[in-house]
Amino acid sequence: MDFINLRILDILDIVLVAFLLYYVYKLVKGTAAINIFIGIVMIYLAWKLTQFLAMEMLSSVLGEFIGVGMFALIVVFQQEIRKFLLMIGSTNFGKRRNFLRQLKFMRDTAEESATDINAIVNACESMGESYTGALIVIKRNTSLDFVKTSGDKMNIAVNTPIIESIFYKNSPLHDGAMIVEDNHIVATRVILPVTNERDMPLRFGLRHRAAAGITEKTDAIALVVSEETGQISYLKNGGFILFDSKEELIQKIKKHLR
Protein backbone atom coordinates (compact mmCIF):
# COMPACT_ATOMS: atom_id res chain seq x y z
CA MET A 1 0.00 0.00 0.00
CA ASP A 2 2.84 2.34 0.96
CA PHE A 3 4.40 1.78 -2.41
CA ILE A 4 1.17 2.72 -4.21
CA ASN A 5 0.72 5.86 -2.05
CA LEU A 6 4.27 6.94 -2.74
CA ARG A 7 3.79 6.52 -6.47
CA ILE A 8 0.59 8.53 -6.55
CA LEU A 9 2.27 11.31 -4.58
CA ASP A 10 5.26 11.15 -6.90
CA ILE A 11 3.04 11.57 -9.93
CA LEU A 12 1.26 14.48 -8.26
CA ASP A 13 4.65 16.00 -7.43
CA ILE A 14 5.82 15.73 -11.04
CA VAL A 15 2.56 17.16 -12.40
CA LEU A 16 2.76 20.13 -10.00
CA VAL A 17 6.41 20.82 -10.90
CA ALA A 18 5.48 20.59 -14.60
CA PHE A 19 2.68 23.15 -14.07
CA LEU A 20 5.03 25.43 -12.15
CA LEU A 21 7.70 25.23 -14.87
CA TYR A 22 5.05 25.82 -17.54
CA TYR A 23 3.84 28.99 -15.82
CA VAL A 24 7.40 30.23 -15.24
CA TYR A 25 8.15 29.57 -18.92
CA LYS A 26 4.95 31.35 -19.98
CA LEU A 27 5.95 34.40 -17.94
CA VAL A 28 9.53 34.68 -19.15
CA LYS A 29 8.95 33.48 -22.74
CA GLY A 30 10.01 36.09 -25.28
CA THR A 31 11.41 38.46 -22.64
CA ALA A 32 15.01 39.25 -21.65
CA ALA A 33 14.29 37.30 -18.45
CA ILE A 34 14.55 33.98 -20.36
CA ASN A 35 18.30 34.59 -20.91
CA ILE A 36 18.80 35.44 -17.24
CA PHE A 37 16.83 32.31 -16.32
CA ILE A 38 19.07 30.14 -18.55
CA GLY A 39 22.18 31.85 -17.06
CA ILE A 40 21.04 31.00 -13.53
CA VAL A 41 20.32 27.39 -14.45
CA MET A 42 23.82 27.09 -15.98
CA ILE A 43 25.52 28.52 -12.87
CA TYR A 44 23.47 26.16 -10.70
CA LEU A 45 24.51 23.15 -12.82
CA ALA A 46 28.17 24.27 -12.74
CA TRP A 47 27.93 24.54 -8.93
CA LYS A 48 26.49 21.03 -8.63
CA LEU A 49 29.21 19.70 -10.97
CA THR A 50 32.04 21.31 -8.94
CA GLN A 51 30.49 19.86 -5.77
CA PHE A 52 30.34 16.44 -7.38
CA LEU A 53 33.98 16.70 -8.51
CA ALA A 54 34.97 17.99 -5.03
CA MET A 55 36.52 21.18 -6.43
CA GLU A 56 36.39 22.95 -3.07
CA MET A 57 37.32 26.51 -3.98
CA LEU A 58 35.28 26.90 -7.14
CA SER A 59 32.37 25.15 -5.49
CA SER A 60 32.42 27.55 -2.51
CA VAL A 61 32.68 30.61 -4.81
CA LEU A 62 29.71 29.41 -6.87
CA GLY A 63 27.87 28.43 -3.67
CA GLU A 64 28.27 31.97 -2.30
CA PHE A 65 27.09 33.35 -5.63
CA ILE A 66 23.97 31.17 -5.57
CA GLY A 67 23.25 32.24 -1.96
CA VAL A 68 23.40 35.95 -2.80
CA GLY A 69 21.74 35.13 -6.11
CA MET A 70 18.43 34.40 -4.32
CA PHE A 71 18.13 38.09 -3.44
CA ALA A 72 19.35 39.13 -6.87
CA LEU A 73 16.63 36.88 -8.35
CA ILE A 74 13.89 38.72 -6.50
CA VAL A 75 15.22 42.04 -7.82
CA VAL A 76 15.76 40.87 -11.40
CA PHE A 77 12.48 38.98 -11.68
CA GLN A 78 10.43 41.51 -9.72
CA GLN A 79 8.02 42.10 -12.63
CA GLU A 80 7.63 38.38 -13.37
CA ILE A 81 7.10 37.45 -9.70
CA ARG A 82 4.48 40.18 -9.47
CA LYS A 83 2.67 38.89 -12.55
CA PHE A 84 2.89 35.30 -11.29
CA LEU A 85 1.36 36.20 -7.91
CA LEU A 86 -1.26 38.33 -9.64
CA MET A 87 -2.12 35.39 -11.90
CA ILE A 88 -2.49 33.00 -8.94
CA GLY A 89 -4.29 35.51 -6.72
CA SER A 90 -6.82 36.52 -9.32
CA THR A 91 -7.79 33.01 -10.40
CA ASN A 92 -11.10 32.96 -8.65
CA PHE A 93 -11.25 29.39 -7.43
CA GLY A 94 -13.04 30.66 -4.34
CA LYS A 95 -16.32 30.85 -6.18
CA ARG A 96 -17.58 27.33 -6.45
CA ARG A 97 -19.66 28.07 -9.55
CA ASN A 98 -16.62 29.45 -11.35
CA PHE A 99 -14.64 26.41 -10.31
CA LEU A 100 -17.33 24.10 -11.66
CA ARG A 101 -17.26 26.02 -14.93
CA GLN A 102 -13.68 24.85 -15.35
CA LEU A 103 -14.92 21.29 -15.46
CA LYS A 104 -15.68 20.23 -18.97
CA PHE A 105 -18.86 18.32 -18.28
CA MET A 106 -20.46 21.48 -16.91
CA ARG A 107 -19.74 23.52 -20.02
CA ASP A 108 -22.80 22.60 -22.06
CA THR A 109 -25.18 23.46 -19.26
CA ALA A 110 -23.30 26.50 -17.93
CA GLU A 111 -25.20 29.75 -18.17
CA GLU A 112 -24.08 32.43 -20.59
CA SER A 113 -21.83 35.29 -19.55
CA ALA A 114 -23.45 38.61 -18.72
CA THR A 115 -21.51 40.39 -21.48
CA ASP A 116 -23.55 41.38 -24.51
CA ILE A 117 -21.27 39.76 -27.09
CA ASN A 118 -23.69 40.43 -29.95
CA ALA A 119 -23.50 44.17 -29.28
CA ILE A 120 -19.68 44.09 -29.21
CA VAL A 121 -19.32 42.01 -32.38
CA ASN A 122 -21.95 44.11 -34.21
CA ALA A 123 -19.95 47.23 -33.30
CA CYS A 124 -16.75 45.55 -34.58
CA GLU A 125 -18.51 44.61 -37.82
CA SER A 126 -19.70 48.13 -38.48
CA MET A 127 -16.30 49.63 -37.49
CA GLY A 128 -14.68 47.16 -39.90
CA GLU A 129 -16.94 48.38 -42.71
CA SER A 130 -15.84 51.98 -42.07
CA TYR A 131 -12.16 51.05 -41.51
CA THR A 132 -12.23 52.33 -37.95
CA GLY A 133 -9.47 50.83 -35.81
CA ALA A 134 -10.52 49.33 -32.46
CA LEU A 135 -9.11 47.24 -29.64
CA ILE A 136 -11.50 45.70 -27.11
CA VAL A 137 -10.34 43.55 -24.19
CA ILE A 138 -12.89 41.44 -22.30
CA LYS A 139 -11.95 40.37 -18.79
CA ARG A 140 -12.43 36.78 -17.65
CA ASN A 141 -10.91 35.78 -14.27
CA THR A 142 -7.56 37.59 -14.14
CA SER A 143 -7.79 41.15 -12.83
CA LEU A 144 -6.96 43.84 -15.40
CA ASP A 145 -6.45 46.56 -12.77
CA PHE A 146 -2.71 46.75 -13.54
CA VAL A 147 -3.46 48.04 -17.07
CA LYS A 148 -6.68 49.92 -16.37
CA THR A 149 -4.81 52.61 -14.44
CA SER A 150 -3.04 53.71 -17.65
CA GLY A 151 -6.35 54.78 -19.20
CA ASP A 152 -9.54 56.63 -18.29
CA LYS A 153 -11.86 54.96 -15.83
CA MET A 154 -15.55 54.80 -16.77
CA ASN A 155 -18.66 52.80 -16.21
CA ILE A 156 -20.99 52.52 -19.20
CA ALA A 157 -23.21 49.59 -20.07
CA VAL A 158 -22.06 47.84 -23.26
CA ASN A 159 -24.01 48.79 -26.36
CA THR A 160 -23.18 49.06 -30.05
CA PRO A 161 -23.52 52.85 -30.64
CA ILE A 162 -21.43 53.68 -27.55
CA ILE A 163 -18.58 51.40 -28.67
CA GLU A 164 -18.68 52.86 -32.17
CA SER A 165 -18.65 56.43 -30.90
CA ILE A 166 -15.72 55.74 -28.56
CA PHE A 167 -13.58 54.41 -31.43
CA TYR A 168 -14.81 57.02 -33.93
CA LYS A 169 -11.65 58.56 -35.40
CA ASN A 170 -12.23 62.08 -34.09
CA SER A 171 -13.32 60.95 -30.64
CA PRO A 172 -10.93 61.94 -27.86
CA LEU A 173 -11.26 58.38 -26.48
CA HIS A 174 -10.48 56.42 -29.66
CA ASP A 175 -6.79 55.74 -28.94
CA GLY A 176 -5.60 52.66 -27.06
CA ALA A 177 -7.75 49.83 -25.75
CA MET A 178 -11.22 49.58 -24.23
CA ILE A 179 -11.69 47.24 -21.27
CA VAL A 180 -14.98 45.43 -20.76
CA GLU A 181 -15.87 43.73 -17.48
CA ASP A 182 -19.15 41.85 -17.15
CA ASN A 183 -21.39 44.05 -19.27
CA HIS A 184 -19.67 47.37 -18.62
CA ILE A 185 -17.03 49.43 -20.39
CA VAL A 186 -14.79 50.13 -17.40
CA ALA A 187 -11.83 51.88 -19.07
CA THR A 188 -10.81 53.47 -22.37
CA ARG A 189 -7.50 54.74 -23.83
CA VAL A 190 -5.73 51.94 -21.98
CA ILE A 191 -2.11 51.18 -22.90
CA LEU A 192 -1.52 47.44 -23.00
CA PRO A 193 1.75 45.50 -22.78
CA VAL A 194 2.83 44.46 -26.29
CA THR A 195 3.96 40.93 -27.06
CA ASN A 196 7.58 40.18 -27.96
CA GLU A 197 6.50 37.15 -29.97
CA ARG A 198 8.71 37.03 -33.05
CA ASP A 199 6.47 34.61 -34.94
CA MET A 200 3.73 37.22 -35.39
CA PRO A 201 3.53 38.25 -39.08
CA LEU A 202 5.04 41.68 -39.82
CA ARG A 203 1.78 43.01 -41.28
CA PHE A 204 0.41 43.16 -37.74
CA GLY A 205 1.35 46.38 -35.98
CA LEU A 206 1.14 47.58 -32.40
CA ARG A 207 -2.63 47.25 -32.03
CA HIS A 208 -2.50 43.52 -32.77
CA ARG A 209 0.70 43.11 -30.72
CA ALA A 210 -0.99 44.79 -27.75
CA ALA A 211 -3.97 42.40 -28.08
CA ALA A 212 -1.58 39.42 -28.16
CA GLY A 213 0.35 40.86 -25.20
CA ILE A 214 -2.62 41.21 -22.84
CA THR A 215 -4.10 37.83 -23.79
CA GLU A 216 -0.82 36.01 -23.21
CA LYS A 217 -0.24 37.70 -19.83
CA THR A 218 -3.81 37.26 -18.57
CA ASP A 219 -6.76 35.01 -19.43
CA ALA A 220 -8.64 37.94 -21.04
CA ILE A 221 -9.80 37.77 -24.65
CA ALA A 222 -9.39 40.57 -27.20
CA LEU A 223 -11.04 41.78 -30.39
CA VAL A 224 -9.14 43.95 -32.87
CA VAL A 225 -10.55 45.84 -35.84
CA SER A 226 -7.82 46.77 -38.29
CA GLU A 227 -7.83 50.35 -39.48
CA GLU A 228 -5.96 49.28 -42.62
CA THR A 229 -8.00 46.27 -43.74
CA GLY A 230 -11.22 46.54 -41.73
CA GLN A 231 -10.67 42.92 -40.68
CA ILE A 232 -11.75 41.66 -37.25
CA SER A 233 -9.28 39.52 -35.30
CA TYR A 234 -10.06 37.50 -32.21
CA LEU A 235 -7.20 36.74 -29.81
CA LYS A 236 -6.93 34.40 -26.87
CA ASN A 237 -3.83 33.11 -25.02
CA GLY A 238 -1.62 35.36 -27.16
CA GLY A 239 -2.76 33.77 -30.44
CA PHE A 240 -5.31 34.36 -33.19
CA ILE A 241 -8.51 32.30 -33.10
CA LEU A 242 -9.82 31.76 -36.60
CA PHE A 243 -13.49 31.98 -37.57
CA ASP A 244 -15.45 31.89 -40.82
CA SER A 245 -18.45 34.04 -40.02
CA LYS A 246 -19.78 36.58 -37.54
CA GLU A 247 -22.04 33.90 -36.05
CA GLU A 248 -19.10 31.55 -35.51
CA LEU A 249 -17.13 34.36 -33.85
CA ILE A 250 -20.02 35.09 -31.48
CA GLN A 251 -20.38 31.41 -30.61
CA LYS A 252 -16.65 31.04 -29.91
CA ILE A 253 -16.52 34.12 -27.68
CA LYS A 254 -19.62 33.03 -25.76
CA LYS A 255 -18.10 29.59 -25.23
CA HIS A 256 -14.80 31.05 -24.00
CA LEU A 257 -16.53 33.44 -21.61
CA ARG A 258 -18.56 30.72 -19.88
Ligand X SMILES: Nc1ncnc2c1ncn2[C@@H]1O[C@H](COP(=O)(O)OP(=O)(O)OP(=O)(O)O)[C@@H](O)[C@H]1O
* Smallest distance, ligand X to C-beta of residue 82, A: 19
* Smallest distance, ligand X to C-beta of residue 66, A: 37
Per the rule left: phi > 0, alpha: psi between -120 and 50, beta: everything else, 226 is beta
Which of 173, 131, 85, 138 lies closest to 249, judged by CA? 138
Please give the DSSP secondary-structure letter assigned to residue 130: T
How buried is 180 (Cβ within 10 angstroms: 0-12 exposed, 13-18 middle, 19+ buried)? buried
- CB-wise, 87 or 147, nearer to ligand X? 147
- CB-wise, 60 or 165, nearer to ligand X? 165
- CB-wise, 117 or 134, nearer to ligand X? 134
- CB-wise, 7 or 169, nearer to ligand X? 169
CA dist., res. 159 & res. 151, Å (int): 20
* Smallest distance, ligand X to C-beta of residue 183, A: 22
- CB-wise, 113 or 193, nearer to ligand X? 193
Q: Which residue is nearest to ligand X (CB)?
A: 205
- CB-wise, 113 or 226, nearer to ligand X? 226
Which of 161, 218, 166, 165 lies closest to 187, judged by CA? 166
Query: What stretches of 29-55 show up as alpha helix (H) in DSSP?
Result: 33-52
Asked if 230 and 219 count as a contact pair (C-beta separation under 8 A), the reply is no
* Smallest distance, ligand X to C-beta of residue 224, A: 7
- In total, the chain counts a number of residues equal to 258
* Smallest distance, ligand X to C-beta of residue 90, A: 20
**Contact footprint for ligand X (CB under 6 A):** 133, 135, 175-177, 191-192, 194, 204-208, 210, 226-228
* Smallest distance, ligand X to C-beta of residue 170, A: 13
Other CB atoms within a 10 A radius of the CB of residue 150 amount to 14
